[in-house]
Amino acid sequence: MAGWSTHSGRAIALPLHNVDTDQLIPARFMSASRSEGYGKFLLHDMRFDADGAEIADFPLNRHEGASVLVAGRNFGSGSSREAAVYALVDAGITAVIAPNFGDIFASNAVNNGLLPARLPEHEVTQLIDSLADQSAAVLIDLRAGELRIGDQGYAFELDDSWRTKLINGWDDIDLTLNHEDQIQTFKDQRFQTTRWAWPAAQDQEPPSKRAQ
Amino acid sequence: MTHPRTLLDKLWSAHEILRREDGTSILWVDRHLVHEGSHHAFGKLAARGAKVTAPELTFAVVDHYAPTRNRDQIADPQISRMIGTLRKNAAQHGLRLFDLMDPAQGIVHVIGPEQGLTLPGLLINCGDSHTSTHGAFGAMAFGIGATEVAHVLATQTIWQKKPQSMRITVDGSLGPGVSAKDIALNWIARLGTGGAQGCAIEYAGNAVRDLSMEGRMTLCNLSIEGGARLGMVAPDEVTFAYLKGRPYAPKGDDWEAALADWANLRSDDGAAFDREVTLHGDAIAPTVTWGTSPEQALPVTENIPDPATLDPGKADAARAALDYMGLPIGRPLDGIQVDQVFVGSCTNGRIEDLRAAAAVMAGRKAKVPGMVSPGSAQVKAQAEQEGLDRIFTEAGLEWVAAGCSMCVGMNGDLVAPGKRCASSTNRNFRGRQGPGARTHLMSPAMVAAAAVTGTITDVRPLLHGRSV
């Protein structure tokens, strides 16, 4: 994954609270292969009616090319499905700004280069009101933790370790493998002192059970 | 004297391999549970040419896509492919797979405990948010995304920042017909879906101690719906009695060593929590959701709220929810007609849940169609031994095989658009049980009450003269 430190694009408001991951990508699309692109599934049941036609006044349908969403409280709550992030990323979204995020969603986002930027709720409300149903130019500076929408600047909150990951585009597995020796030592010690933490071997079962 | 420590402190330090300067730690993972939905993670592993580093600690199960009927000939090619992919990945990496026809198959959060894979003192991960269920045993258990699943597969570790600690004490005792589900919906309604954001919850108090393992699992399962990272209950004799003799639980000397270690798994007297909340068990009534978020819940004796009277931040969401749910302001919750019912899921698909539903349903007929899907094949077998299946089928409900089923609708079991379902599941999100589905969350006993009356109903009067 490539890292990034600044982004300029277009922001739109998604004035909804509790946009859970079931809405971001309904379950029935999750068996698709990533290679076919998940963008078309993003918020599918809000963007399209039962016949598959676009719902004209839904924000994402009004503004093609938006790269930043400003949304209400508790964005990405619910299921751990990383496919919700794939749908956003594949639809060209680089950042979501909200008062708070589902925990698992936020770490999934960072693992895919998507910024989950927290702003105080009153600032999000103000932003949503000022954007209304228009789009506006947005500039995000990850290092400074600042973003600018129209002529307003905001300081967003982001965990420091996540900021570093986004900027460097780090793959955690590579990072972790640098600590391979410490992990092996820990594992060996745990196996010595806490042997019960390993699943009982099935051949240790009492004969009565084995016979079944 | 050492500083008093919380259960979280003890579990965290037992798993911390190292902590970086920015406060992120690498933790050792004792159990990793995977399911069909883990296909993206296996794909990432394959793309690196990596293998599963600790296959003896990794267990696979077919649950999300598991058909609940006609398992030997899966009609839907997509479902067949998802299950086939898991089989292939499990075989390639040498993982124990609980396949469709395995007598131990079931929902991952039901079979982990049932098989003794879930133990006090462990760190347990799974690519499913309801992994918090396993915390009922005094384990540190939390859901992760696909990239993290790939990381655990490749390294048997996970990067995490230590969550804040929160204690929810439920004192007193629960009234008849009131269950762990009602405790959970009660605190989530009170604190909101972000009320425990980023916290590790420890549940304490008499009403929690008095719960069975099944009840504790229900409570911990729903922690994620209040924003928590994980939920836990300190292990005690109830926990140990549940685990003894389970297939993968420690045996012989290992069991004795485990019991000695587990005795320390409690928060020390005087340990400080970042947040404390107290609920009174006696004041909790059977609770149902009226909206599209688990926080939109009320005692069944109440009326649909007027959004204008809610916290301004919640009013818009409430209006949108009532519009989606097709419900008028001020209408009593009791008496709202339902079209169908569902009993099952990792929240309420255990034997005790089926017994609670059967106790209400025995000798009565369901006025609406519905489905009962046990949480595992073993729960199914036990229920059949106890005759619970006949109670359900004689009432007119369908008795089907184990899996996630209508909770998430991936296996084809869906609520039709616009239909209203009384459901023992965990999420009333828009479209969760199918596009346009309207879900009311409640306990299994309340679902049974809805089945026999055809409406959302206070279960308590229906229990008069019955042993529960």
Name chain B contacts of A26, Cβ cutoff 8 Å.
Answer: 431, 435
Q: What is the pLDDT of residues B380-424, one digit of tens each?
A: 999 999 999 999 999 999 999 999 999 999 999 999 999 999 999
Q: pLDDT band at B235, cuts 50/70/90? A: very high
**Cβ contact, residue pair B146, A82, below 8 Å:** yes
CB within 8 A of B407, min separation 6: which ones? Answer: B342, B344, B345, B346, B347, B423, B425, B426, B427, B432, B433
B364: distance to nearest CA of chain A, Å? Answer: 35
Query: What chain A residue is nearest to B142 in terms of C-alpha separation?
Result: A104
Give contacts of A 158-197 with B, CB under 8 A: 159-161, 164, 172-173, 175-177, 179, 182-183, 186-187, 190, 194-197
Confidence of residue A209 (pLDDT cuts 50, 70, 90): very low
Burial of residue B268 (number of CB atoms within 10 Å: 0-12, 13-18, 19+): middle
Residue pair A97/A156 in contact (Cβ under 8 Å)? The answer is yes
> CB–CB of A26 and B251 under 8 A?
no
The contacts of residue B209 (CB under 8 Å, 6+ apart) are B236
Nearest-by-CA chain A residue for B22: A161
The beta strands (E) that lie in B11-122 are given as: 16-19, 24-28, 31-34, 58-61, 96-98
Q: Which of A31, A108, A209 sits opposite B145 (nearest CB)?
A: A108
* List of residues 6+ apart from B254 with CB closer than 8 A: A195, A196, A200
Residue with tokens 């025995």: B362
Q: Which residues contact A180 (CB under 8 A, 6 or more apart)?
A: none
Nearest to A73 among B39, B194, B251 (CB): B194
From chain B, pick out residues whose CB is under 8 angstroms from the CB of A102: 227
Look at residue A208 and tell me whether its pLDDT is greater than 70.
Answer: no
Q: What percent of chain A has pLDDT over 70?
A: 95
Helix (H, G, I), strand (E, B) or coil at B24: strand
pLDDT at position B254, please? 97
- What is the distance between the alpha carbons of residues B227 and A212, in angstroms, rounded to a whole number? 43
Residue B257 pLDDT exceeds 90: yes
Residues counted in chain A: 212
* Helix, strand, or coil (residue B461): helix
Q: Which of B96, B224, B289 to mutate to test the interface with A (most CBs of A within 10 A)?
A: B224
Residue B1 has what pLDDT? 56
Residue B339 burial (CB < 10 Å; 0-12/13-18/19+)?
middle
Instruction: Check pLDDT > 70 for residue A212.
Output: no
Q: How far is A28 from chain B (nearest CA, A)?
A: 6
Answer whether residue A64 shows pLDDT above 60.
yes
Distant-in-sequence, close-in-space partners of B354: CB < 8 Å, separation ≥ 6: B343, B372, B374, B379, B383, B388, B444
Nearest CA in chain A to B154: A173
Å between B395 CA and nearest CA of chain A: 31
Span A50-70, average pLDDT: 94
B chain contacts of residue A173, beta-carbon cutoff 8 Å: 48, 50, 150-151, 154-155
pLDDT for position B320: 95
| Interface touch B147/A83, C-beta < 8 Å | no
CA B19 to chain centre: 31
Give the pairing type, strands B287-289 and B275-280. unpaired
pLDDT above 50 for B372: yes
Q: Do residue A199 and residue B56 have CB atoms under 8 angstroms apart?
A: yes
B121, B155, B193 ranked by CB distance to A74: nearest = B193
A211 has pLDDT over 50 = no
Q: Is the dihedral of CA B325, B328, B331, B335 positive or negative?
A: negative
Q: What is the CB neighbour count within 10 angstroms for residue B72?
A: 7
Q: How far apart, in Å, do the first and last CA atoms of chain A sit?
A: 50
- Helices B77-93, B39-48: axis angle to 10 degrees equals 50
Rg (CA), chain B: 21
Average pLDDT, integer, range A137-144:
98
Write the pLDDT tens digit of every residue in A72-82. Answer: 999 999 999 99
**CA A74 to centroid of chain Cα atoms:** 12
What is the structure's pLDDT at B2?
Answer: 76
pLDDT > 70: what percent of chain B? 100
Summarised one tens digit per residue, pLDDT across range A159-168 is 999 999 999 9
Select from A103, A165, A182, A185 the residue whose CB has the most chain B CBs within 10 Å, as the one to mutate to test that interface: A103
Contacts of A17 in chain B (CB under 8 A): 313-314, 316-317
**How many C-alpha atoms does B347 have within 13 Å on its Cβ side?**
31
Residue A92 neighbours by CB distance under 10 Å: 14
Average pLDDT, chain B: 97
- Closest by Cα among A170, A171, A131, A173 to A154: A131
Distance (Å, whole) CA B148 – CA B134: 18
In terms of CA atoms, which chain A residue is nearest residue B405?
A27
Interface of A with B in 89-118 (CB under 8 A): 100, 102-105, 107-108, 111-112
The residues, any chain, with a CB within 8 Å of residue B61's CB and separated by 6 or more, are B33, B34, B35, B97, B98, B105, B106, B107, B108, B111
Digit-coded pLDDT (tens) for A93-122: 999 999 999 999 999 999 999 999 999 999
Count CB neighbours of B458 within 10 A: 20
